[in-house]
Amino acid sequence: MIAAMARWDPDARGRLMLAAMDLYSERGYNQTTVAEIAKRAGLTERTFFRHFADKREVLFSGSAQLEEAIVGAVAGAPESAPPFDAVAVGIEAAGGFLRERDYSRRRQAIIAPNPVLQERELIKMASLASAIAGALRKRGVSDPAASLTAEAGTAVFRIAFERWIDEGNEKHLLALIHESFEELKSLVA
């Protein structure tokens, strides 16, 4: 539990995230209020809303940065790279972005039993696939190839992520992404 701290103490966002994750794990997402999160973090509700639009965003606040990293890597892939390889470069960028396996496990344990949060996660994945397809189109890939390749890359990411957070797994996310791409390639070759 976080001790009460003055409002001006540093890392309010981090404290709010930690408090929210602790409360979601202890009490459940639906049973936790913004007021309780702010109190646990030693902050005000007003401070909470300066950092997050709602309590759901604590779980999804990194989505935009993840999407930006992946799409940026797709765009920056060598011009000679075929679409599938460009997407692989992008998805592999997620391996460097996501490093906190314990946090990701806790986050997923909170999302899994909650249909509203599951829906938000699906929207996040659909947005990612759409953004990747857009990056491929900018590289000159036409549809449906851009959309198909983006959806396949997003599926690889999702499967590798699920394997990464599995309690029995010791492999790094990047290794699992590589393995998943190779498995998919072997199926279509």
Q: Going residue by residue through the chain (189 aa), what tens digit of pLDDT does each one get?
A: 444 444 455 789 999 999 999 999 999 999 999 999 999 999 999 999 999 999 999 999 888 899 999 999 999 999 999 999 999 999 998 877 787 889 999 999 999 999 999 999 999 999 999 999 999 999 999 999 999 999 999 999 999 999 999 988 889 999 999 999 999 988 876
**Based on the domain organization, do 31 and 70 belong to the same domain?**
no
**Based on the domain organization, do 101 and 42 belong to the same domain?**
no
7 within domain boundaries: no
Domain count, the chain: 2
Residue with structure tokens 């639009």?
53
Q: What is the dihedral of CA 181, 96, 157, 185, to 10 degrees?
A: -10
**Based on the domain organization, do 116 and 163 belong to the same domain?**
yes
**Interatomic CA distance for residues 19 and 48, integer angstroms:** 11
What CATH code is carried by the domain that includes residue 90? 1.10.357.10
**Based on the domain organization, do 179 and 105 belong to the same domain?**
yes
**Based on the domain organization, do 124 and 45 belong to the same domain?**
no
**Based on the domain organization, do 135 and 103 belong to the same domain?**
yes
In this prediction, residue 1 carries a pLDDT of 47
In this prediction, residue 9 carries a pLDDT of 57
81 within domain boundaries: yes
**Based on the domain organization, do 169 and 184 belong to the same domain?**
yes
Written as six digits, the tokens of 3 are 């001790």
In this prediction, residue 120 carries a pLDDT of 94
**Based on the domain organization, do 87 and 40 belong to the same domain?**
no
Burial code (b: 16+ CB inside 10 Å, e: under 16) for 141-177 equals: beeeebbebbbbbbebbbbbbebbbeeeeeeebbebb
In this prediction, residue 5 carries a pLDDT of 46
91 within domain boundaries: yes
What CATH code is carried by the domain that includes residue 29? 1.10.10.60
Residue 172 domain boundaries = 62-188
**Based on the domain organization, do 29 and 72 belong to the same domain?**
no
